[in-house]
């Protein structure tokens, strides 16, 4: 009996692909440890799901990490969308608008710029690129305060532009990533042969070489979407009109009402909890379904083609 | 998964250390004829960057040299705002607090991220894809929502931690009290960003050519030895990059304390972190000029910190 198993193991090992030959045995202890670590990262989210199904009373009277008797999720969701004359739905729409507009515009700028920095030699190339990189160290307030003052002089505060324009343009990491990607993904010979065929450089970019950047475009766009969707500081200072709030500022506002209104605070707590859950669902779904894209860009080696 | 097909991407995943050493022969547009095209490509980004970054910064630098007075409006005061900032006990206390935060939270987070990345890369793990996703998941959660959620989890009323402590008859630690608040915030930030750093390190690991491991295996190195002697040294540029991001992130701490302030207004004071201080100066106290100076001081500290850090790691790698 034991001989047969041993034999089977040997044949199994030799039949495995060559690159797996040196692969060590899987470790159960390490797996258990890592599952425990993963639990730490998932438990707060599980709590959020559980808490969203509870009434205020159940929140206080039942254990946080398990469901109460009755499922109140849909009532909570309905209440969240009904509260303050349906403000929450508007906030979600605003977040979507700001995130999509900034990500589309920002990715386009970063792609053109990164490609230009990677593939063209001109005076000041290196200096300009380093300037953009250095900008990453500038604190958000150092930038946000003067931007706010300039925008308010131009009458642009309290408009969607106050969020979209700064989010689009001040994203050094996208440019940095596109430059490195374009540098290695676009062969010079491709540009040369396009020129020999008589195409202009922009036509070469839009019709040929730009396509080679697609994985990086998707990555940069996804990260910009997340960044703008999650942004709190900029909309906090730029927007006064609650109708223009993105969901982050709206939720923080509800939280402020929940903790400041003392005895009546109970009404706002389920709204904050359920609103938090609803606001992160699109991102989590996007991350799961677009996994290929963020992993292609970042976890490059694991892509098997 | 041949090495050739992943080679160009692999370079894309190894960000640091390539700046400054790029070969001139690598550029597509050779000669002056194409320089103009190069400018046209980078122009849209640079115009946006100038309008949204350089102009506001220059404007802030300019008005940080003024002071608004009741009588006479804006008066030029030279570097007065800066001398005030450097001796401002509120700013210094805030800087000390974020420095402490940096010293405690960042090493912890980086050790975890490094360990996770190595474990994912080691092939010793079952379920590695699921585990990777789970650890990275919090990155998709806005820091505002993360802080709200942890605020509830820490809370004495219906937080599960307090409930568990209650069940075993102990008093739950006061996570939102003055003693533990910085640690509580550190936990939120660790929860949010460990996965992000793990992914960056993991990406760099996947870019290491497998021949190196095969050579090590021939020499009899096990997975732990390979991790320690080959992978970690090769990860140095990626680790430095993560650390620099972390310097920037820690010193700019704002969202988490600003949300926790609604739960514990007496613990998180208006000057808890330098960024919170600058925000309150500008938008509560209307002291725009001084707030700009405070922000610049913070910016200098961050740049000096990142620079010193890179200098230190460079020197060590050379010797």
Q: Give the range of the structural domain holding residue A117, as residue numbers without chain letter.
A: 86-302
Are B38 and A122 a contacting pair at CB < 8 A? yes
Distance CA A214, CA B114 (A): 29
Token pair of A256, please?
A: 């402020």
Tell me the average pLDDT of chain A.
82
pLDDT at A267 over 60: yes
More confident residue, A98 or A302: A98
**Is residue A58 in some structural domain?**
no
Distance CA B69, CA B71 (A): 5
**Is residue B300 in some structural domain?**
yes
**Domain containing residue A166: CATH number:** 1.10.3720.10
Name which of A85, A87, A40, A48 is nearest A64 in CA terms.
A48
**Is residue B44 in some structural domain?**
no
**Is residue A108 in some structural domain?**
yes
For position A155, what pLDDT does the model report?
A: 93
The partner residue sitting opposite B206, judged by closest CB among A42, A134, A302, is A302
For position A43, what pLDDT does the model report?
A: 92
- pLDDT bin (cut points 50, 70, 90) of residue A297 is low
pLDDT at A27 over 70: yes
SS3 A243: helix
**Least confident stretch, A2-16, A247-261, B80-94:** A2-16
Whether this prediction's pTM lies above 0.95 is answered by no
Question: DSSP secondary structure string, B28-79?
Answer: SB-SGGGHHHHHHHHHHHHHHHIIIIIHHHHHHHHHTTEEEETTTEEEE-TT
For position B307, what pLDDT does the model report?
A: 84
Question: DSSP secondary structure string, B144-193?
Answer: HHHHHHHHHHH-TTT-HHHHHHHHTTPPPP-TTSTTTHHHHHHHHHHHHH
Contact between B301 and B251 (Cβ < 8 Å): yes
For position A257, what pLDDT does the model report?
A: 84
For position A265, what pLDDT does the model report?
A: 52
Are B116 and A37 a contacting pair at CB < 8 A? yes
- pLDDT bin (cut points 50, 70, 90) of residue B18 is very low
Which residues between 157 and 216 in chain B have a beta carbon less than 8 angstroms from any beta carbon of chain A? Answer: 157-160, 163, 191, 194-195, 199-200, 202-203, 205-207, 210, 213-214
Residue B55: its chain A contacts at CB < 8 A?
150
Are A141 and B24 a contacting pair at CB < 8 A? no
For position A288, what pLDDT does the model report?
A: 81
| Residue showing tokens 């159940």 | A58
Distance CA B147, CA B138 (A): 11
pLDDT at B92 over 90: yes
Return the H-helix or E-strand segment holding A82. helix A73-119
Our measurement of the distance from residue A229's CA atom to the centroid of its chain's CA atoms, rounded to an integer in Å, reads: 7
CA-based nearest distance A121→chain B, Å: 6
Domain count, chain B: 1
For position B25, what pLDDT does the model report?
A: 42
**Is residue B68 in some structural domain?**
no
**Domain containing residue B196: CATH number:** 1.10.3720.10
DSSP label of A299: S
Are B11 and A40 a contacting pair at CB < 8 A? no
Token pair of A94, please?
A: 């605003």
The mean pLDDT of B35-39, rounded to a whole number, is 87
Cα four-point dihedral sign B63, B67, B72, B73: positive
Exposed (0-12), middle (13-18) or buried (19+): which is A188, by Cβ within 10 Å?
middle
Residue B303: its chain A contacts at CB < 8 A?
134, 137
Q: Give the range of the structural domain holding residue B303, as residue numbers without chain letter.
A: 3-29+80-318
**Least confident stretch, A271-285, B141-155, B235-249:** B235-249
The mean pLDDT of A182-190, rounded to a whole number, is 86
Name which of B166, B163, B174 is nearest A58 in CA terms.
B163
Tell me the average pLDDT of chain B.
83
Token pair of A294, please?
A: 């963020």
DSSP label of B172: P
Name which of B271, B71, B282 is nearest A152 in CA terms.
B282
Q: Mutating which of A22, A62, A137 best tests the B interface, going by the most B Cβ atoms within 10 A?
A: A137
Are B35 and A166 a contacting pair at CB < 8 A? no
Domain count, chain A: 1
Distance CA A22, CA A42 (A): 33
Residue of B nearest to A58 (CA): B158
**Residues whose CB falls within 8 Å of the CB of residue A102, separated by 6 or more in sequence, listed in order:** A163, A164, A167, A168, A224, A225, A228
- B33 reaches A (C-beta below 8 A): no
SS3 A84: helix
**Is residue A268 in some structural domain?**
yes
The mean pLDDT of B158-167, rounded to a whole number, is 80
pLDDT at B316 over 70: no
**Is residue A21 in some structural domain?**
no
The ipTM assigned to this model is 0.81
- pLDDT bin (cut points 50, 70, 90) of residue B87 is very high
Question: Per mean pLDDT, which of A226-235, B57-66, B101-110 is the most reliable?
Answer: B101-110
Distance CA A275, CA A247 (A): 8
For position B108, what pLDDT does the model report?
A: 95
Are B152 and A273 a contacting pair at CB < 8 A? yes
Are A63 and B24 a contacting pair at CB < 8 A? no
């Amino acid at each position: 009996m034991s001989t047969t198993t041993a034999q089977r193991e040997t044949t199994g090992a030799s039949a495995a692909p060559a690159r797996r030959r040196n692969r060590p045995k899987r470790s159960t202890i390490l797996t258990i440890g890592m599952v425990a670590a993963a639990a730490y990262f998932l438990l707060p989210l599980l709590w959020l799901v559980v808490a969203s199904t509870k009434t205020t009373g159940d929140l206080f009277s039942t254990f946080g990490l398990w469901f109460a008797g009755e499922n109140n999720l849909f009532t909570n969701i309905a209440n969240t969308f009904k509260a303050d004359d349906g403000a929450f739905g508007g906030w979600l729409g605003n977040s979507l608008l700001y995130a999509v507009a900034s990500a589309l515009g920002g990715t386009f700028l970063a792609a053109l710029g990164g490609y230009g920095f990677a593939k063209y030699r001109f005076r000041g190339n290196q200096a300009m690129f380093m300037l953009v990189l250095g900008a990453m160290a500038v604190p958000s307030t150092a930038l946000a305060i003067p931007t706010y003052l300039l925008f308010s002089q131009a009458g642009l505060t309290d408009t969607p532009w106050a969020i979209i324009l700064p989010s689009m343009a001040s994203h050094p990491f996208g440019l940095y990533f596109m430059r490195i990607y374009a540098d290695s993904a676009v062969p010079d010979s491709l540009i040369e042969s396009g020129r020999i065929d008589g195409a202009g450089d922009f036509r070469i970019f839009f019709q040929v070489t730009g396509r080679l950047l697609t994985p990086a475009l998707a990555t940069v766009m996804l990260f910009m979407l997340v960044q703008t969707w999650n942004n709190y500081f900029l909309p906090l200072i730029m927007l006064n009109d609650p109708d223009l709030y993105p969901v982050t500022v709206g939720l923080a506002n509800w939280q402020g009402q929940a903790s400041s209104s003392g005895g009546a605070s109970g009404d706002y707590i389920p709204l904050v909890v359920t609103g938090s859950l609803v606001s992160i669902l699109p991102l989590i779904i996007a991350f799961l379904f677009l996994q290929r894209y963020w992993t292609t860009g970042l976890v490059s080696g694991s892509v098997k083609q | 998964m041949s090495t050739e097909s992943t080679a160009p991407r692999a370079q894309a995943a190894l960000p640091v250390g390539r700046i400054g050493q790029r070969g001139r022969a690598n550029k597509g547009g050779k000669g002056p004829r194409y320089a103009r095209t190069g400018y046209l490509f980078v122009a849209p980004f640079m115009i946006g960057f100038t309008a949204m970054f350089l102009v506001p910064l220059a404007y802030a630098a300019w008005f940080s040299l003024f002071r608004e007075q009741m009588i006479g409006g804006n008066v030029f005061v030279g570097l007065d705002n800066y001398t005030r900032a450097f001796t401002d006990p509120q700013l210094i206390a805030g800087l000390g607090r974020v420095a402490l935060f940096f010293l405690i939270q960042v090493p912890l987070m980086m050790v975890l991220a490094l360990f996770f990345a190595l474990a994912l890369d080691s092939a010793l793990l079952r379920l590695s894809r699921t585990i990777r996703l789970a650890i990275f998941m919090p990155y998709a959660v806005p820091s505002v929502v993360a802080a709200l959620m942890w605020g509830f989890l820490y809370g004495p009323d219906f937080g599960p931690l307090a409930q568990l402590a209650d069940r075993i008859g102990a008093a739950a630690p006061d996570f939102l009290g003055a003693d533990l608040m910085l640690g509580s915030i550190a936990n939120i930030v660790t929860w949010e960003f460990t996965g992000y750093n793990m992914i960056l390190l993991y990406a760099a690991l996947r870019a290491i050519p497998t021949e190196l491991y095969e050579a090590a295996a021939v020499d009899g190195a096990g997975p732990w030895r390979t991790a320690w002697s080959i992978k970690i040294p090769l990860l140095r540029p990626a680790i430095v990059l993560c650390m620099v991001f972390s310097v920037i992130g820690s010193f700019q701490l704002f969202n988490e304390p600003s949300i926790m302030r609604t739960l514990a207004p007496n613990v998180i004071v208006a000057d808890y972190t330098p960024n919170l201080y600058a925000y309150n100066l500008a938008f509560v106290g209307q002291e725009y000029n001084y707030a700009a100076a405070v922000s610049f001081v913070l910016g200098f500290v961050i740049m000096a910190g990142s620079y010193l850090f890179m200098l230190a790691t460079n020197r060590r790698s050379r010797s």
